[in-house]
Amino acid sequence: MLIIADPAAAAQITIQKSLEKHSSTKEYVYPLLGEKNMVTLEGKEWKMWRGIFNPGFASGHLMSLVGGMVADTVRFTEILSDYAAKEKVFELEDAATRLTVDIIGNVVLDMSLHAQTSENKLVKAFRDQLQWMPLPNDMNLFRKYNPMKWFVYRTNTRIMNRYLDRLLEQRFTDRQQEEKASTKRSKPVIDLALDTYLKETGQSGGSALPRQFKQSAIDQFKTFLFAGHDTTSSTACFIVHLLSKHPAVLEKLCQEHDEVYGPDTSKTAEAITNDPHTLNRLPYTLAVLKEVLRLYPPVSTVRKGHPNISIQLDGESYPTDGFMVWPVAYGMHRRPELWPDAEAFIPERFLVKEGDPLFPPKGAWRPFEYGPRNCVGQELAYIELKIFMVLTLRDFDIRPAYAEQDKIDGKDRSTHTIKGDRAYQVLIATAKPILGYPSKVTKRSRQ
């Protein structure tokens, strides 16, 4: 394995020459996402499907869908209120994942999956599939080679694909009815993707959803769910965690929200819905979000070395042929040579001007990766997380409850820390907070 923790070296294999994804990535995600997923496609096929889905994830278009995201997040705040009233320990990562699933359902398909309020077949099968996927460094041979695994994979895949097939057909029927009625409304991502697909392939709409498009759309939707687990739900947990440790940053954040939306938080959801572009008037909120992603990047990319590509760094040449090439975002984000006081939580890094010692070095911040294979849904993640922050942080105090969870489980995990912190990342398909970030929530009282 060739590990990269230098932005200039990483640029050589992700931007200047974009190496193919390593075969281990494909083997790992196929059972979850399918063979046509955008994460592992290569060449012309990847370029085609990336181009088909790009319009739906453009920032300008996503702004037209903010109303649905706000409604889903308001439902999330109602769930938080319920947990506060019951004084109950809960997994914030699970609650945030269900929020993410509902948002993705609305944004991509214009359908509510009701993941926050009921048990959803798609979510259950998806999360069960995640639990059965062995980690790359898993030493438990029974879990790794358990023959039941393949039966579970097939069963869960069948459940997910049938569920999504039905949703896609329903959305296609609704789309046709809207076109006949000349209904004017913001299109979900899947509609723009289908428009682009038909244009690129020279096909007409027809009376049936094109088979090739449907097969790929099913795998892409599972990919978007996977990405939601990656970025939004895990990052929401670490936003809460870091702010619980830095009350001055939290207060400054709340002041910015007061300035933009007014101190009456009951009017905030309506204000965002009426003018989604107010989300672009939150520079400190964005800086906090970026600093959280710096300290807790949810994922990295793994590439396959090439016989004709070597990395040039500090006068040395490092051949990549035969190597798994890994630009490690976590390591790069915490290098003191790149980031002054690298372990500290300093949102101002993303507010200072070039020339300031805190200014981020080019290519050193890469939670969504750089180059042509960067994350197609990063703008959606920004919008989701801004809405999450604006609608929750002024009304709720959410704190980690690891000690309480230990008592519930009858286990002493007090020594299970990294750098003295109970909340650390573990690899469950992607980097997630340990134990799902057990939490307790109370209503905030602000003077």
For residue 403, give both structure tokens: 């000690």
Helical residues (DSSP H) of 35-86, grouped into ranges: 43-53, 59-63, 66-86
List, for residues 153-165, the tens digit of each pLDDT value.
999 999 999 999 9
In this prediction, residue 205 carries a pLDDT of 63
In this prediction, residue 203 carries a pLDDT of 73
In this prediction, residue 293 carries a pLDDT of 97
Give the pLDDT band of residue 179 (cuts 50, 70, 90): confident
Cβ–Cβ under 8 Å, residues 108 and 221: yes
pTM: 0.93
What totals of helices (H) and strands (E) does the chain contain, helices first? 18, 10
In this prediction, residue 337 carries a pLDDT of 96
| Residue 447 exposed, middle or buried by CB count within 10 Å (0-12, 13-18, 19+) | exposed
Instruction: Give the HSE-up count for residue 71: Cα atoms under 13 Å, Cβ half-sphere.
Output: 15
Give the pLDDT band of residue 12 (cuts 50, 70, 90): very high
Q: How far apart are CA 283 and CA 300, in angstroms?
A: 26
In this prediction, residue 127 carries a pLDDT of 83
List, for residues 363-415, the tens digit of each pLDDT value.
999 999 988 999 899 999 999 999 999 999 999 999 999 999 999 999 999 99
In this prediction, residue 211 carries a pLDDT of 87
Cβ–Cβ under 8 Å, residues 332 and 369: no
Beta-carbon count within 10 A of 410 CB: 6
pLDDT at 446 over 80: no
For residue 352, give both structure tokens: 């200072």
**β-strands 430-433, 425-428: how paired?**
antiparallel
Dihedral angle at the C-alpha atoms of 353, 357, 360, 364, nearest 10 degrees?
160
In this prediction, residue 138 carries a pLDDT of 63
For residue 82, give both structure tokens: 């319920």
Give the pLDDT band of residue 96 (cuts 50, 70, 90): very high
List, for residues 98-113, the tens digit of each pLDDT value.
999 999 999 998 888 8
Provide the residue type at 232 as one letter. Answer: T
pLDDT (mean) for 302-329: 94
In this prediction, residue 30 carries a pLDDT of 86
Residue 188 CB partners (closer than 8 Å, separation 6+)? 56, 65, 106, 107, 108, 109, 110, 171
List, for residues 180-208, the tens digit of each pLDDT value.
777 777 889 999 999 898 888 877 666 78
The residue length of the chain stands at: 447
First to last CA, the chain: 54
Beta-carbon count within 10 A of 317 CB: 8
Give the pLDDT band of residue 228 (cuts 50, 70, 90): confident
In this prediction, residue 26 carries a pLDDT of 83
Cβ–Cβ under 8 Å, residues 325 and 302: yes
Residue 170 CB partners (closer than 8 Å, separation 6+)? 111
Residue 421 CB partners (closer than 8 Å, separation 6+)? none
pLDDT at 54 over 60: yes
CA distances from 126 to 23, 162, 164 (A): 22, 13, 12
List, for residues 241-277, the tens digit of each pLDDT value.
999 999 999 999 999 999 999 999 999 999 999 999 9
pLDDT at 447 over 60: no
Cβ–Cβ under 8 Å, residues 400 and 423: yes
The alpha-carbon radius of gyration of the chain (Å, integer) is 22
Q: Which residue in the block uniquely carries the two structure tokens 């759309």?
A: 217
In this prediction, residue 104 carries a pLDDT of 93
Give the pLDDT band of residue 63 (cuts 50, 70, 90): very high
More confident residue, 128 or 401: 401
More confident residue, 430 or 346: 346
Cβ–Cβ under 8 Å, residues 435 and 425: no
**β-strands 316-319, 425-428: how paired?**
unpaired
